Amino acid sequence: MPRKCATTLPSFGEQEGRHLVLGVHPMLMVDTDSVVVERLLLAGELTCPPCGGVLRPWGHARWRSSRREEASVRHRPRRASCTACAKTHVLLSMAWLSRRADGVSVIGSALLAKAAGAGHRPIAAGLGRPTSTVRGWLRRFGARAEDVRVLFTRLLHSLDPQAGPLLPRESVFADALEALGRAGAAGVRRLAPRPPWEFASWASAGLLLAPPVGAVSNTS
């Protein structure tokens, strides 16, 4: 992964002219190492997603409690402001997704289990998460699966022009995960080692489970 957490790769926000940001200002997905993020921010090496201007420190976002596989963690994302357009951005670690309390790897394991044929109740039991929460993830991903498939297929071919075609699977849900996995593998080869679900968070600008444009958000 580029140290600057490149924003030149496609995201939902750029797809087909639509702008899928949650709220007025989009998140900027950054390294999971806060020391690295701070160093890049102070060095002026992070750029504003909409305009490409240099970001400068601008305090912190609120404290939040998020859940990894086994335990909750308290963290307080950095906030930055753009020296060009003056917008502020929350710098969210790519271990998370925008407006989701669970780590992207936890959510990702639920998506993979669903694609393998499991139902939301056993997935929730296996992960120790509320059934309603897991059902929400699966429904949202299912509703966005075609967008995810398109985004990550484009990303795959931009990262690896020699990549073979993605063969259709039994559902768009599975197709989307296949594209995501192939793009993640290409990202590791082309950019840097990175856990696949962190790559997915980064490449989707944290919006892997974002609501469609105009939808009312109801996340957990």
Residue 203: which of 34, 7, 2, 3 has the closest Cα? Answer: 7
Residue 13 sits in the site that holds Zn ion (CB under 5 A): no
Of 85 and 192, CB closest to Zn ion? 85
Residue 44 sits in the site that holds Zn ion (CB under 5 A): no
Strand partners, 88: 81
Of 83 and 105, CB closest to Zn ion? 83
Of 27 and 107, CB closest to Zn ion? 27
Of 52 and 122, CB closest to Zn ion? 52
Residue recorded with tokens 């484009």: 154
Q: Which of 22, 54, 61, 84 binds Zn ion (CB under 5 A)?
A: 84
Token pair belonging to 41: 């921010």
Residue 195 sits in the site that holds Zn ion (CB under 5 A): no
Q: What is the DSSP letter of 153?
A: H
Residue 55 sits in the site that holds Zn ion (CB under 5 A): no
Please name the residues in contact with 88: beta carbons below 8 A apart, sequence gap of 6 or more: 25, 58, 79, 80, 81, 82
Residue 54 sits in the site that holds Zn ion (CB under 5 A): no
Strand partners, 89: 80
Residue 85 sits in the site that holds Zn ion (CB under 5 A): yes
Residue 82 sits in the site that holds Zn ion (CB under 5 A): yes
